[in-house]
Structure 1
């Protein structure tokens, strides 16, 4: 009789363990893969904080739709933009998705998705400025964001930085600081991503600013992932292409870039 009771107890324990394992596996499966997306939360309209302190923007909406279609859970992590590749390759984040310009130098550190948006680097001054072309910037004070594609574009223009006041360009952590520097009169001009600049100027009043006809080059945005994350890269490309084909991309685009 005692042996029979032991057998029953063992059977109950086995069933209990099996149930717990099954539930755990089901819960894990229902959660899906989890990814952390690194971004600059001041880079409107790609990703920024609204009045409720929520991270919103064009890239944010794209990422959410891609995650939804793949059953992923994602979290947006603000990072020091100057450390973006280090954050990615150390494992602190899984993607750089924030108006991230595709360059040959960056391709050595990360893998990029296919380009999903075209952008240019523009020069902005105040509307009453006497600066009308790039040559007018000689011996002038110019600012941009540190380790940004705007800075890369300035560096590529032969002799440009050397021609500025003190032979250097002023660097700030965010483009908000860059615009503030211009508005306060501390700098004569700024170099900035056009998608950000147009959004910013539209909200502040375009009459305050002047955009030079010349720009520092056309570029393309992509999502950056670690070199070894080939399957993730494949899924991102497939899903973004599906969204373009079925019209979802255009719907999201029109929400942020109506003009």
Structure 2
């Protein structure tokens, strides 16, 4: 009987030790997996672990605009696709366009996916990714306007979105450049009889016309690259975004997003001006 008790005790002890060993191995595996995720996220220097906080204006249809309380559009879809590639949660933040680059520079947002045109002035404050679409300034007027080309803009009142590159474009023709909160506001004001012209991108103008605004295009003034703004101190995140964009381009997903939200593929650099 004593020998049976000893044998039973040893058997129970072995079961307990095996269970402890198994539990220890599971915890170690879980810790390693969690650690890997944290390391992957930490290398990007994000504001919040596991999240990609990005800014957009929410006032630039079809690139970013509000549907109820949700911000949607091509810019938003691109940001979400990049976040998915990086294994991060996309967190959009609505902000005034004129302050977005400063917000990235000061660390309020990880990145900006807000249809920013790459300029030397902006490159002094932030780094830019590869272009995720191409655009360019276009002249818009009312149908009865005498303005037919760029030469006719001399001395006219040209309204533009505050903080956009179109401010400098307009100032090449006139000193009378009223600035408003968004391109849509400028075009609505133009259609209502204010200003002589508006300079904005072709897609925004076409969308406004489709939505019933009585305005017309009078010529494109150039081609520009639209890219994602990243803090200058965050090279790792910039490189990861460029890799993600390249994958999206190579797979055709970027073009599909453009066609879904904009109606045409704007991801290919135009060979020449139309």
TM-score interval w.r.t. the shorter chain?
Answer: 0.7 to 0.9
Alpha-carbon distance, 1:144 to partner: 0.5
Q: CA deviation at 1:26?
A: 4.1
* 1:258–1:176 Cα change, 3 Å: closer
What is the aligned counterpart of 1:54 among 40, 60, 70? Answer: 70
Separation of aligned partners in 2, 1:85 and 1:258: 27
Give the secondary structure class of the aligned counterpart of 2:80.
helix
2:235 pairs with 1:230: yes
| Rounded Cα–Cα distance in structure 1 between residues aligned with 2:76 and 2:145 | 35
The 5-angstrom pairing of residues 34-73 of structure 1 reads 34-50=51-67, 52-73=68-89
Alignment match, 2:91: 75
Q: 1: distance between equivalents of 2:76 and 2:195?
A: 31
Find the structure with the greater CA-based Rg. Answer: 2
- Indicate whether 1:198 and 2:206 are aligned: yes
Question: In 2, Cα distance between the equivalents of 1:28 and 1:76?
Answer: 25
Equivalent of residue 107 in structure 2, options 61, 70, 91 = 91
- In the alignment, is the contact (CA less than 8 A) between 1:37 and 1:75 conserved in 2? yes
Determine if the alignment matches structure 1 residue 170 to structure 2 residue 175.
no
**Higher RCO, 1 or 2 (CA under 8 Å, sep at least 6)?**
1
Of 103, 120, 136, which aligns to 1:104? Answer: 120
CA distance in 2, matches of 1:85, 1:58: 19
Q: Please name the residue that 1:209 is paired with.
A: 215
Match of 1:126 in 2: 142
Q: d(CA) in 2 for partners of 1:27 and 1:202?
A: 51
Q: Secondary structure at the match of 1:129?
A: coil
Equivalent position SS for 1:38? strand
Structure 2: stretches of 5+ with no match in the other structure: 1-22, 42-49, 265-274
Native 8 Å contact 1:154 1:216 kept in 2: no
State the aligned residue count.
Answer: 231
**Cα gap change, 1:127/1:53 in structure 2, threshold over 3 Å: closer, same or farther?**
farther
| Cα distance in 1, alignment partners of residues 72 and 235 from structure 2 | 27
* CA deviation profile, 1:118-162 (whole Å, cap 9, x unmatched): 10101101112222122323343210011102113223x3xx12x
Contact 2:60/2:183, CA 8 A, preserved across alignment: yes
Give the Cα–Cα distance (whole angstroms) in 2 for the partners of residues 89 and 246 of structure 1: 31
Secondary structure of the corresponding residue to residue 97 of structure 1 = strand
CA deviation profile, 1:35-79 (whole Å, cap 9, x unmatched): 2111111011111112x3311111111111111121111211111
The normalised TM-score by structure 1 is: 0.81
* Partner secondary structure for residue 240 of structure 1: helix
Give the conservation status (yes or no) of the 8 Å contact 1:153–1:217. no
Aligned counterparts of 2:256 and 2:198: Cα–Cα separation in 1:
31
Match of 1:220 in 2: 225
Partners of 2:52 and 2:83 within 8 A in 1: no
CA distance in 1, matches of 2:208, 2:35: 43
